[in-house]
């Protein structure tokens, strides 16, 4: 472990002084998954709370089999609470939900994709514009001549905000996220959401084991962090870039830039180490080396980078409980959800 006095925490760190929380109020395990429908691009980073209240942060590893992912994390938590972040949307845009007759996201998730139901084909992306409907909103099934305007037209949407939740809309310093139902391109999130909902969240909620809660639908975070339980939150690693000192070069015509470039990921290492130190997190030597190496030249480097940044961001939010809760809006708590740690705008 990189311990106080080295590349982790400074030697002046006083473990008796917690930034905002007592040790027994924190989850024993914090994990963050960078998600994809492709197994080789699903990476998981995690941190365990030690006796002095420091989070010991491990380097990202392959997420492994989705069928036992939650059970494996529960075992790592050793009887304590687990906070697990996924970087795919968890919730539905209110304009779409109202038009489709959905007034409770968790109740809807229980029936989505059920054979013989109205929602049987919900998770099956439409192959052509004429297949798009309120009960089959994901589009397109495969690359081709698909355009977002097809989605808007088929759903009779007045504009792109119809497809965006409040937490996904642009605000100063961050562009809008990609719409939930869009399944193509570098920014698409639709297929990751389909996979995560179907392969992880739905089965676990239906099985009831391990005990699972979805924030903020199931309640306030401090109520969900119970011994032996897992609380799932939605994350957006880019939300943490600025506060973690991550600065990428602006896009250049004909050249790769940003988190897809190893040298730019490596340039963020010092800022991320400082961010970890500020939030009482100690990194393994393996993770420190990976940060300075930009997580290597392979295409999964950006996935491992976001798994680590998302985890450090989650730990930072936990150190500041005033950042835990979303706006006091029933729509957000019942239908849309919220991105963990996102500032309340307006």
CATH code of residue 225: 3.30.420
- Residues 121 and 206 placed together within one structural domain of the fold: no
Spell out the per-residue pLDDT of the chain, length 346, in tens. 443 333 333 323 333 334 444 556 899 999 999 999 999 999 999 999 999 999 999 999 999 999 999 999 999 999 999 999 999 999 999 999 999 999 999 999 999 999 999 999 999 999 999 999 999 999 999 888 889 899 999 999 998 899 999 999 988 777 888 899 999 876 679 999 999 999 999 999 999 989 999 999 999 999 999 999 999 999 999 889 988 989 887 766 656 668 999 999 999 999 999 999 999 999 999 999 999 999 999 999 999 999 999 999 999 999 998 877 899 999 999 999 999 999 776 5
Residue-number span of the structural domain to which 135 is assigned: 113-185
d(C-alpha 134, C-alpha 247), whole Å: 39
pTM, two decimal places: 0.91
CA distances from 26 to 13, 43, 67, 253, 319 (A): 19, 23, 26, 45, 9
- Residues 175 and 207 placed together within one structural domain of the fold: no
**Residue where a domain stops, chosen among 160, 185, 210:** 185
- Residues 161 and 296 placed together within one structural domain of the fold: no
**Residue where a domain stops, chosen among 168, 185, 202:** 185
Q: Considering its fold, how many domains does the chain have in total?
A: 2
d(C-alpha 322, C-alpha 166), whole Å: 19
> Does residue 144 sit within a domain?
yes
d(C-alpha 75, C-alpha 28), whole Å: 11
Residue 188: closest CA among 178, 176, 175: 178
Confirm if 28 and 48 have CB atoms less than 8 A apart: yes
């Amino acid at each position: 472990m990189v311990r106080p006095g080295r590349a982790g925490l400074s030697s002046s760190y006083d473990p008796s002084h917690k930034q905002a929380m007592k040790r027994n109020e924190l989850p024993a395990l914090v994990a963050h998954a960078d998600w994809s429908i492709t197994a080789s691009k699903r990476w998981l980073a995690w941190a365990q709370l030690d006796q002095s209240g420091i989070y010991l942060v491990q380097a990202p590893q392959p997420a492994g089999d989705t069928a036992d992912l939650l059970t494996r994390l529960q075992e790592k938590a050793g009887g304590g609470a687990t906070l697990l972040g996924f970087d795919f949307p968890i919730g539905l845009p209110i304009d779409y939900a109202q038009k489709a007759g959905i007034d409770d996201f968790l109740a809807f998730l229980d029936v989505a994709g059920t054979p013989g139901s109205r929602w049987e084909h919900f998770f099956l992306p439409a192959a052509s514009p004429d297949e798009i409907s309120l009960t089959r909103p994901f589009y397109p099934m495969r690359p081709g001549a698909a355009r977002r305007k097809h989605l808007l037209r088929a759903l009779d949407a007045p504009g792109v905000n119809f497809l965006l939740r409040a937490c996904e809309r642009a605000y100063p310093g961050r562009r809008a996220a990609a719409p939930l139902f869009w399944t193509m391109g570098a920014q698409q999130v639709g297929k990751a959401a389909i996979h995560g909902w179907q392969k992880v969240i739905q089965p676990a909620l239906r099985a009831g084991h391990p005990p699972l809660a979805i924030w903020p639908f199931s309640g306030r975070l401090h109520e969900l962090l119970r011994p032996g339980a897992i609380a799932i939150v939605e994350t957006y690693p880019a939300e943490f870039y600025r506060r973690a000192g991550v600065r990428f070069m602006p896009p250049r015509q004909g050249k790769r830039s940003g988190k897809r470039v190893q040298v730019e990921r490596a340039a963020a290492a010092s800022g991320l180490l400082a961010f970890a130190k500020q939030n009482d997190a100690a990194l393994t030597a393996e993770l420190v080396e990976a940060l300075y190496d930009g997580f290597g030249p392979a295409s999964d480097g950006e996935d491992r980078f976001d798994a680590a940044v998302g985890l450090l961001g989650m730990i930072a939010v936990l150190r500041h409980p005033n950042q835990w809760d979303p706006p006091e809006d029933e729509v957000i708590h019942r239908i849309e959800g919220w991105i963990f740690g996102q500032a309340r705008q307006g």
